[in-house]
Structures are given as structure tokens and as C-alpha cells.
Amino acid sequence: MTNRILAGREVAAIGLGCMNVAWAYGMAPSRREAVALFRHALDAGCDHFDTANIYGMGVSEEILREAIIERRGEFFLATKTGIVLDGERRGIDCHPDSITASLDASLKRLGTDHVDLFYMHRFDPKVPIADSVGAMVRAIEAGKIGSYGVSEWSSAHIREAHAVHPMAAVQTEYSLWTRQVELGVLETTRELGIALVAFSPVGRGALCGDITAPEQLGGKDIRLSMPRFSAEHWPANLALIERFKALAADAGVTPAQLSLAWVLAQGEHVHAIPGTRSIAHSDQNHATMGLTIDAQVLARAGDLINQQTVSGHRYAATMNATIDTEDF
């Protein structure tokens, strides 16, 4: 499971999600630390970097430029558009003009004239799919993007977009404790020959086993708004995680490695992009690709933590209303 195909290119099955160096999970690392992380990951063989325009309102893209853009030919680069932020308010905008303007702004921040993969970060019900895809096709024709993808879209809408112009990837949350893709998206992508790129493959850090209480996360951490980290649901989930840690220890791997191996085992077309601020964790994640974990251990992990055993939904109701993916 070392290398897999993404947008026609062979890349490491485990890439690097670039969100939490700039946004979302409490206090971000220093610029120097983030730059060092990206450079180390590339040196260590990570060749798939995934960012977005909203990660720190462009800061993640700017850090990536500073760190590694001079080595542009050595890695696969993906970014996203479609989510718009106005203070605390979020919206979705996949109008063709907005896609084009957002892409140009991302290219400028990244310091490159093209990205390998450009995602629509969310489904926009206000805009016909053919119109949004048309903007992506024009960007491909202009040489600004190599291919397009979508994130958190339903199977039906993936099929509709793919019929307009073939997409390269679908990015969505997928881990032992988030299984919505198994309601349709996993099979749809397999059938259509589309890569499935799993974000938060270690359960937003919970499945690493280091979080013992939500209070550790800090006041501005977005996970505090997620039901699974609430006082109501966290104790039950922590009990599952403790059992999961023991399973990983018995197998001679870390909980994060067992989590990543399980995700990659769900299909040859599946990729994982764990995020981290730690060089040590980045190395640990990357090393997963060299491990051999018994299929019975992976099956036990899936039986232990799944949609039926985890407590609480992945998102609060207001956020979940913006997600197009099929839901339990």
C-alpha cells in the first residue's frame, strides 16, 4: 500500500493534510515550525500535499509556498474552493466566476501557475452542477489545474458531475469512527475509477489516543463544537479508544498507524491525508505504508470502532446541514 494512483499520477498512499498548521485545531504552530514540517515531510518521501483557501484564510497556502514551492516538481499539490467565510458565518459559493477568482487567488498565494488537483470543497445547491464543472474544465484547458475533484458530495451528485466531465478524486471524511462514505460514495468512486481521499483518517486526532479530555484542546478548537467531543459523548468514546489503543499495542503499532492502515485497506483507490503539526507524527504516519498488519487485527479494529459503537454525530446540526454526503 505504498503508492497509489491519484489523478493519473502515482503518489504515496498517505499524504499530508495542511489544515491544522494554520487553522481549526487550537493554537497553530509558529511559521518556522510549519515550514520545517512541510520541508521534512517532503524530504521523507511525502509527495501529496493537500491544502485549501480557507485554511487560515490562505495562510496554509502561503506557508506551503515558503516551505517547498521551489521544489514544485517533486510533489502532487491539491487545494480547494467553495467555502466562504465572513467572520463566524460560513457559506458555500461554487458559481463559475467565484471558482475562477478563487483559483487565481490560490495560485498567487501558492506561487505557482498550476495545481494538480482543485476541489469544490462543498456542494452548492444554488448553482447547476454543469456550470460549476464547466469552470473546472476551462481551468483544465487553461493549464491552471490538472484535474478537478469534489469534497463531501453525495453519490448522485458525484455521478452527475462525472458525467459532465470525469473527475479525478472525491475527498471526504473517512475513518473507523466516521463511515458515511460506506452508504454509497465508497462504491461509487470504486465503480467510476475515482480516487477517494480520506481526510481526518485518525478521527480528528481522537484515534491517536493522546486526547484524554476535551479540555486539552483549547477554547478555539473546532472539535469542541463536535458532539463526539462533548461531555455527553466523550466518556463513551474514550472507553472505545482505550480498547483500541490496547489492540494497537498488541499488534506492535501505534493507534494512528492502525487507524491509517484500516482506512487504506478499504480499497486500492483509497488515499489518506492525516494532518499534523509534529514532525515525529508525520514520520510515524508515513511509516504506516511499510507495515504489515494482520487482516484479523484490521477486522477487529473495525468491529470495535464503527458507526454503531461510536457515541454522537460527527457534526453539530447546523454544520451537518451543509454536508451533501449520505448520512446515517
Q: How many CB atoms lie within 10 A of CB 1?
A: 19
For every one of its 328 residues, what pLDDT tens digit does the chain have, with 9 covering 90 and above? 699 999 999 999 999 999 999 999 988 999 999 999 999 999 999 999 999 999 999 999 999 999 999 999 999 999 999 999 877 678 999 999 999 999 999 999 999 999 999 999 999 999 999 999 999 999 999 999 999 999 999 999 999 999 999 999 999 999 999 999 999 999 999 999 999 999 999 999 999 999 999 999 987 899 999 999 999 999 999 999 999 999 999 999 999 999 999 999 999 999 999 999 999 999 999 999 999 999 999 999 999 999 999 999 999 999 999 999 999 9
Residues 6+ apart with CB under 8 A from 162: 192, 194
Annotation says 119 is catalytic: no
pLDDT digits (tens, 9 = 90+) for 131-179: 999 999 999 999 999 999 999 999 999 999 999 999 999 999 999 999 9
d(Cα 257, Cα 179) in Å, to the nearest integer?
18
Q: At what angle do helices 155-164 and 129-141 cross, to 10 degrees?
A: 50
- 3-state class of 132 per DSSP? helix
Q: Catalytic residue, from 25, 55, 174, 315: name it.
A: 55
Longest dimension (CA), the chain: 53
At 1 the pLDDT is 63
Whether this model's pTM surpasses 0.85: yes
d(Cα 79, Cα 94) in Å, to the nearest integer?
14
**Residue type, position 119, single letter:** Y
d(Cα 305, Cα 308) in Å, to the nearest integer?
8
Ordered domains of the chain (ranges, CATH): 3-205+256-290 (3.20.20.100)
Q: What is the DSSP string of 113-151?
A: S-EEEEEE-S--TTS-HHHHHHHHHHHHHTTSEEEEEEE
Contact yes or no for 80/120 (Cβ under 8 A): yes
- 3-state class of 323 per DSSP? coil
Q: How many CB atoms lie within 10 A of CB 320?
A: 13
Q: At what angle do helices 295-304 and 255-264 cross, to 10 degrees?
A: 100
